[in-house]
A and B are shown apart, each in its own frame.
Chain A
């Protein structure tokens, strides 16, 4: 029973990856660039997959495009520029850091600091509140301690 489960899982795991075409590369650096690029570019049809992971038609076309550009001697950055000029920053799983995307990068940190600021002010306020007793409060407290609170 257990083995069936594992077997089924491994079949699915194997299928999760797209059937990638065989590509012929003359230089290993080109192959590396290809692999890293297809793992960084988003498939726009199936948005939570990279084009390496997707079997969508568009993903295949984009893989072909990446391959052809590298074969033509284009650089990594050329490919990235080509894609973002057409599909926008969204096509990159890690968009470049620029004015349009800074919230994406810094948003979580900003939220963290905002939260810390809130906690800090609340604590500062709370700490201030139980510091000083007024003369009248001191008197009253003294009485309560001496006689009990029914005085």
Chain B
């Protein structure tokens, strides 16, 4: 440190000393992310990646892409109210979800249906929110997947609270909270990271930086060197990873999950990726980005990256490729068929799940609707 001299002769004797109580709480250096996103595919490290893992990731990526395409098609047929596609981001979705153990919890945002499905959720149930027949179509406890969350960043403190509660109970459960780049500007992002670090909660925060929050690019979202750098301010490590490299995502997530599980505390991971489709089927991406930019990213496609590696190592023959495509096709056909059936809804459900015990006020309103329904039935 240089001692700053004040102007004037008397100032020469001035020697500032640090305030008595001050000492750095943590050495920031080990918390800083690497300057480059971590990659495995296309590097020497890829050679030692487990073939079984590579093939599993491959099959899930192919299935995920097909899922995105099918769900988008369902919006055109009016079967889904809206669909936020994660095409281009499959490596993040799948790589992250597969890094969790069965007892762990996933806290997804609206875009993270693939991660939820990779954890075993029924593809149809994962679409309930977007279809519009109820808000959450699955039992969150069954696969330990919290409801898909629409208000940005608000699921992050939930993940912290759940992980904290699990630790208080003596369970070695880890929570993974997923969020987009735009969501990192929300206050709940800050509060969740701060709570997690102070409580040393077993949480992993995964930011999928896909370049845009609807139309707003990252440069208008933050002035931070990277989103992973934000970790340092909370006293947790920040990691940068190539979000299109499924193996790298899986590895970095795996390390963070293991670290959390053994009591090492939270990690913030930024996966650098790109949203190939528009924000949702209702958005027009040509208004805010150039086709050339999309094309640059097409050359860095997560499935192609993995295919190249598999081919090089002789792990991907035509049979394997076809098997993955076939499995994806079967899933899509099943999804299509089941989504084409009109869901059976009971309007009386509207009053069923507001309180544990229905209030008199709701009982009266339920009676009104019952009468209306009966009259409708009679008129038919």
| A-B complex is real | no
Could you list which residues of chain B lie within 8 angstroms of chain A, going by C-beta atoms?
A: none
Could you list which residues of chain A lie within 8 angstroms of chain B, going by C-beta atoms?
A: none
